[in-house]
Amino acid sequence: MNSPKIDIKPFGKHSLLIEWPNEVSELILEKILQFQTFLNSEALKEMDWELVPAYNSLLILNRKKEIDFEKMSVDIHNWYANLKESVKPDRFLWRLPVTYDLEFGLDLEDVAGQLNKTKREIIDLHTGSTYTVYGIGFLPGFMYLGGINSELELPRKAIPRPKVIKGAVGVAGKQAGIYPQESPGGWNIIGNCPVPIFDASKDNPCFVSVGDKVEFFEISKAEHELHKIEVEVGIYKPEKIKLDA
Amino acid sequence: MLKVLKAGFYTTIQDSGRFGLRDKGVPVSGIMDDMSVFKINSLLENKASAAVLEITMTGPTLIFEEDTYMVIGGAEMSATLNNLPIKNYKVYQIAVGDILSFGKLEKGFRSYLGVKEGFSVKEVLGSRSFYKPLTKFARLIDNDIVPFNAQQLFEPKISEIKVDCFLDVDVLEVTKGPEFDILNDRQLEEIFSKTFTVAHENNRMAYQLTETITPHAISMLTSATLPGTVQLTPAGKLIVLMKDGQTTGGYPRVIQLTDRSICILAQKKGGDRISIKLV
């Protein structure tokens, strides 16, 4: 693929931001991740660099040194121009269980009403898409999931809830997501996922990375309870499929 | 260890922060005013990453249950040791049963307490900094116990420093943020000539400024943010992200505070006045 053009912008003394064209696109995200993989493994290997991808941008941060913006910009343009197509990050598809039981799917009936569909149709639309993780932010482990079926698009709630429980599965606009912890939240909550997306006790606290894909499948409330117990005793492993293999 | 008799308004444990997890949505957290803590840990000959108590607005009452050496610094909060006034940036030897308390807030907003070798609460993802829900608690409460290693033998090379006080500084120095170029002449004039009031909506996540500037209708995709990033909302409000601030945001990041200015702002409270200068 032809490399989309990049812009490099200063962002404080310790970081800079690389920006790709301002659109939500799989091709752009792939290019960002390819470049991030190259930077991580070759150009910026030392410990003090952090890279944060999201949608059409990649933050490059050095927490110890001030960056020479002009020099680094030249390097980045050179690296990017010579980026090999063979550089590929490992990417995974995660299949995550969701109960749409009304005890958890607080807005499911309301969403169905607003979209003039049945609850069954809403669940089928939600489980029928493969979502792309375009960014992780807002809360530790909160995934910005793109790829929602356009028939399931509806605005955020007019009044956010002061408290949304951990695992709440929501939709808002063109996005889907899971609240990784209890938080205030304005998304329409249609179910709950028993798999913790973020676990601070683990060395890798968040199994998902930007660029991964997510699919949801329906489970009953009883299975949800069972999975919660399996998670607590540490035997539940979310289903993981390697992509581009 | 240290026992918390009264917790004060908002007292937490902080160190230099949590690194390498911004791409998973984890803020850096850590000390809000690094400049003050650098001096404290230097006097105690601690590592720069040694954990301290961060004390906001109204201080706690604390009893030491082990011998150590301590230094306080940052805001001036009329601190006393066994009811006798003590100074910022001076090493004090502490014996079992000594009581440290804080009184009226005289200057600044956040005070710090360091002990020899730092507080040894458990690390979560490489840092001792409180950040709920990564850590079990958001702040210390009455009767909490904060562990540290007892120290009887320490001869500080320097036992006291006279501090060039930045608590009175009210100019925040900034560099351009990624969306600096969206600002029109009028907005630039407003940001750099107005005096702003620090809003009462301020905490470890973000500081809001009360006065607004001309609104805008620019929409952008969610992208990375940093401590010190100033976001401009469509309504013209300026929000300064601080150490517990979220790692991504969707509002234009118009300017970026320097590291020093993050410390300066961290010592401001609701109602204080500041101005912004491009460097």
Q: What is the mean pLDDT of residues A80-109?
A: 94
| pLDDT band with cut points at 50, 70 and 90 for residue A85 | confident
Please, are residues B100 and B84 in contact by the beta-carbon 8 Å criterion?
no
CA distance A52 to chain B (A): 5
Residue by residue, DSSP assigns chain B as -EEEEE--SEEEEE-S---S-GGGT------S-HHHHHHHHHHTT--TT-BEEEEESS--EEEESS-EEEEEEEEE---EETTEE--TTB-EEE-TT-EEE-----EEEEEEEEETT-B-PPPBTTB----TTTSS-SS--TT-EE-B--------S--B------TT--EEEEEE-TTGGG--HHHHHHHHHS-EEEEEEESSSEEEESS-----------EE--TTEEEE-TTS-EEEE-TT--SEESS-EEEEE-HHHHHHHHT--TT-EEEEEE-
Digit-coded pLDDT (tens) for A149-193:
999 999 999 899 999 999 999 999 999 999 999 999 999 999 999
Please say if the pLDDT value at position A129 is more than 70: yes
List the single residue in A50, A56, A138 with the smallest CB-CB distance to B22: A50
CA distances in angstroms from B208 to B102, B186, B231, B261, B266, listed in the order given: 27, 21, 10, 15, 12
Angle subtended by helix axes B259-266 and B34-43, to nearest 10:
90
pLDDT score, position A1: 53
List the single residue in A17, A141, A182 with the smallest CB-CB distance to B224: A17
Element (H, E) at A172: strand A168-172
> Which residues on chain A place their C-beta less than 8 Å from a C-beta of chain B?
9-15, 17, 19, 22, 24, 50-57, 59, 61, 63, 134-142, 144, 180-182, 198, 200, 205-206, 209-210
Q: What is the mean pLDDT of residues A11-19?
A: 95
Question: Which chain B residues are closer than 8 Å to A200 by Cβ?
Answer: 124-125, 133-135
CA distance B2 to chain A (A): 26
CA distance A37 to chain B (A): 13
Give the predicted TM-score (pTM) of the model.
0.95
B30 touches chain A (CB under 8 A): no
- Please give the Cα distance from A61 to B222 (Å, whole number): 17
pLDDT score, position A46: 79
Is the Cα dihedral B41, B42, B46, B47 positive or negative? positive
Which residues are within 8 A (CB) of A47 and not within 5 positions of it... i.e. 6 or more apart? none
Residue of chain A nearest B175, judged by CA positions: A12
CA distances in angstroms from A113 to A99, A169, A218, listed in the order given: 19, 18, 20
- Please give the Cα distance from A205 to A212 (Å, whole number): 16
> Which residues does chain B have with pLDDT short of 70?
none
3-state DSSP call for residue A138? coil
Question: Which chain A residues are closer than 8 Å to B25 by Cβ?
Answer: 136-142, 180, 198, 206
pLDDT score, position A203: 86
The predicted complex's ipTM stands at: 0.93
| pLDDT band with cut points at 50, 70 and 90 for residue A43 | confident
Q: Across A141-150, A233-242, B163-172, which has the greatest mean pLDDT? A: A141-150
Please say if the pLDDT value at position A2 is more than 90: no
Please say if the pLDDT value at position A245 is more than 70: no
Direct distance between the N- and C-terminal alpha carbons of chain B, in angstroms, rounded to an integer: 44
Residue of chain B nearest A8, judged by CA positions: B178
B246 touches chain A (CB under 8 A): yes
Closest CA to A9 of B188, B241, B259, B177: B177
Amino acid letter for position B264:
I
Q: What is the mean pLDDT of residues A224-244?
A: 92
